[in-house]
């Protein structure tokens, strides 16, 4: 499997070498391991698997005696060895297609600093790291020291995804290439602030990095909102070229279902407002229907016209187009279940399927359907690639009812129309 380590097939099952410290501080910041010139010849790829866990680029140094390997303090800590200990070192043979598409890094100071607040430019830092550690193997969980503008930092590899890989496993690793997309995150309480992270599309996807559901007028649906963003928007925070390399397909449809009056329509409208795309098109299901032959199908096509035109001209750089169908069960009933003699309902389902999952399917649309009769919908519409994310919007629990009451009484409270002795918690229990 790509990303797993491979021992040299020439019979080298790994040799025991004595660990020593890196000859000087400058070499300690290269993330390389150092051996004698004679020992380096035993590693044809210049890569070594140390302690059966970490892959380091090898370089020779005259100050390192034969049979020894020089590791910096962080490398020794991760390999769980001290200077003078023995460690297993074997040749590492990288598999094909070993370049990383995505690297997520946690940033921290090499030494804890009190009252220090540094701003790190993500674009400049990414360029520096790609240049400094080009073609080095990065492994999930690995810690790497580096110097940036006179200060020593350490990054921890949170995620290392190879091209064509969609999820991370503990042993994932690969080469840092000039095309590797890097996302930086500051370690908690480090005082580091990452600025100018232009490459991260998360800032482009949402109008605000943080949002308060209570301010949006939504109560009791925090868990559902979290589920929607985790499942439907996780892939859209990455730039198109990264998504292509990872082989990820965007979620194109969400179905919100549940009893009437539970906030489905409100949630759909607010999702549309939160996204940095075109203004959402909100359609009441029955409005699509027309008494004229072929007009209903044309109404459906018109909803997707703007998205089609933009994808044709801008391709992967197209904005996200959100189309919201309220009462979608009115127009997307199971095909063959409506006996009106016209077949209009069947045509609507066919038209929708063609637009979101057909031969020329659109990749810049997000369909949000709402219904309280999920059982009436055509099954083909609910499969992966269509309305694949199903979120049940149920009646709120006690905490949800409290949030709803707080939202509806907020204006009264601000304008001193709500008596201070009113206990909302008591009302919802």
| Model confidence pLDDT, tens digit, residues 410-420 | 888 888 888 88
> What is the average pLDDT across 10-15?
58
d(C-alpha 11, C-alpha 13), whole Å: 6
Q: Could you tell me where in the chain the CATH 2.40.40.20 domains are found? A: 15-91
What pTM, to 2 d.p., does this model score? 0.57
DSSP state of 43: -
Asked if 134 and 174 count as a contact pair (C-beta separation under 8 A), the reply is: no
Model confidence at 117: pLDDT above 80:
no
> What is the average pLDDT across 85-101?
91
- 292 falls in which pLDDT band (50, 70, 90)? low
Closest by alpha carbon to 50, among 96, 86, 97? 86
d(C-alpha 105, C-alpha 184), whole Å: 5
Q: What would be the CATH architecture of the domain defined by 100-198?
A: Roll (3.10)
- Higher pLDDT, residue 22 or 159: 22
Which residues lie below 8 Å from residue 45, measured CB to CB, with a gap of 6+? 91, 92, 93, 94
pLDDT the model gives residue 354: 86
pLDDT the model gives residue 360: 78
Radius of gyration of the CA atoms of the chain, in A: 28
pLDDT the model gives residue 68: 96
- 188 falls in which pLDDT band (50, 70, 90)? confident
pLDDT the model gives residue 5: 34
> What is the average pLDDT across 282-297?
76
pLDDT the model gives residue 12: 52
pLDDT the model gives residue 212: 66
Using DSSP, state whether 416 is helix, strand or coil.
Answer: coil
What is the percent of the chain where pLDDT is above 90?
31
| Model confidence pLDDT, tens digit, residues 293-350 | 678 888 888 989 998 998 888 777 678 888 988 888 888 888 776 665 555 667 888 8
- 385 falls in which pLDDT band (50, 70, 90)? confident
User: Using CA atoms in the order 37, 42, 43, 46, what is the torsion angle rounded to 10 degrees?
Assistant: 10
Phi-psi region of 140 (alpha: psi -120 to 50; beta: other; left: phi over 0): beta
pLDDT the model gives residue 1: 34
Q: Could you tell me where in the chain the CATH 3.40.50.300 domains are found? A: 222-392
Q: What is the mean pLDDT of the chain?
A: 83
d(C-alpha 424, C-alpha 415), whole Å: 17
Counting Cβ atoms within 10 Å, is residue 183 exposed (0-12), middle (13-18) or buried (19+)?
Answer: buried
Model confidence at 383: pLDDT above 80:
yes
What is the percent of the chain where pLDDT is above 70?
85
Number of Cβ within 10 Å of residue 313's Cβ equals 9
Q: Where are the alpha helices (DSSP H) in 12-62?
A: 25-28, 37-40
- 6 falls in which pLDDT band (50, 70, 90)? very low
Model confidence at 61: pLDDT above 90:
yes
d(C-alpha 12, C-alpha 43), whole Å: 10
Of 2-6, 68-72, 127-131, 280-284, which range is least confident? 2-6
Please provide the DSSP assignment of 84-99 as one string: T-EEEEEEB---SS-B
Closest by alpha carbon to 330, among 381, 289, 301? 289
Which residues lie below 8 Å from residue 294, measured CB to CB, with a gap of 6+? none
> What is the average pLDDT across 28-36?
95
Cα atoms in the 13 Å half-sphere on the side-chain side of 113 = 16
DSSP state of 40: H
- Higher pLDDT, residue 232 or 83: 83
> What is the average pLDDT across 190-203?
66
- 284 falls in which pLDDT band (50, 70, 90)? confident
Q: What would be the CATH architecture of the domain defined by 15-91?
A: Beta Barrel (2.40)
Number of Cβ within 10 Å of residue 267's Cβ equals 23
| CATH for the 222-392 domain, from 1.10.3370.10, 3.40.50.720, 3.40.50.300, 3.40.640.10 | 3.40.50.300
pLDDT the model gives residue 206: 63
d(C-alpha 180, C-alpha 380), whole Å: 37
Q: Could you tell me where in the chain the CATH 3.10.330.10 domains are found? A: 100-198
> What is the average pLDDT across 141-166?
86
Which residues lie below 8 Å from residue 414, measured CB to CB, with a gap of 6+? none
pLDDT the model gives residue 10: 35
Asked if 50 and 5 count as a contact pair (C-beta separation under 8 A), the reply is: no
Model confidence at 192: pLDDT above 80:
yes
């Amino acid at each position: 499997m790509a990303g797993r380590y491979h021992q040299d097939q020439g019979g080298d099952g790994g040799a025991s070498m004595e660990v020593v410290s890196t000859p000087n501080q400058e070499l300690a910041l290269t993330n390389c391991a150092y051996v004698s010139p004679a020992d380096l010849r035993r590693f044809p790829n210049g890569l070594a698997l140390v302690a059966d866990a970490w892959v380091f680029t090898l370089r020779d140094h005259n100050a390192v005696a034969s049979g020894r390997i020089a590791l910096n303090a962080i490398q020794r800590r991760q390999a769980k060895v001290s200077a003078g200990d023995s460690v297993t070192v074997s040749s590492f043979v990288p598999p094909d297609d070993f370049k990383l598409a995505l690297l997520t890094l946690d940033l921290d100071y090499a030494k804890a600093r009190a009252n220090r607040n540094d701003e790190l430019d993500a674009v400049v830092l990414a360029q520096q790291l790609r240049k400094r550690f080009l073609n080095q193997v990065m492994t999930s969980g690995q810690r790497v020291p580096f110097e940036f503008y006179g200060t020593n930092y350490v990054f921890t590899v949170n995620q290392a995804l190879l091209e064509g890989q969609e999820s991370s496993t503990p042993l994932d690793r690969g080469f840092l290439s000039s095309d590797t997309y890097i996302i930086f995150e500051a370690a908690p309480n480090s005082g580091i602030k990452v600025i100018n992270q232009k490459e991260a599309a998360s800032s482009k996807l949402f109008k605000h990095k943080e949002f308060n559901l209570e301010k949006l007028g939504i109560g009791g649906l925090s868990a559902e909102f979290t589920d929607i963003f985790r499942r439907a928007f996780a892939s859209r925070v990455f730039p198109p070229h990264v998504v292509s390399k990872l082989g990820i397909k965007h979620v194109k449809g969400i179905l919100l279902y549940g009893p009437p009056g539970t906030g489905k329509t409100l949630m759909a409208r607010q999702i549309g407002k939160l996204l940095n795309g075109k203004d959402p098109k909100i359609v009441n299901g029955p409005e699509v229907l027309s008494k004229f032959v072929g007009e209903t199908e044309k109404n459906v096509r018109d909803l997707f016209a703007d998205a089609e035109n933009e994808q044709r001209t801008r391709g992967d750089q197209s904005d996200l187009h959100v189309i919201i169908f309220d009462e979608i069960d009115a127009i997307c009933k199971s095909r063959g279940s409506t006996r009106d003699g016209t077949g209009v309902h069947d045509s609507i389902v066919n038209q929708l399927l063609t637009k979101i999952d057909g031969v020329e399917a659109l990749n810049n649309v997000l369909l949000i359907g709402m219904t309280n009769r999920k059982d009436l919908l055509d099954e083909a519409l609910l499969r992966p690639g269509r309305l694949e994310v199903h979120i049940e919007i149920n009646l709120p629990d006690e905490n949800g009812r409290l949030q709803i009451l707080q939202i509806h009484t907020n204006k009264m409270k601000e304008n001193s129309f709500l008596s201070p002795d009113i206990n909302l918690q008591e009302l919802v229990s």
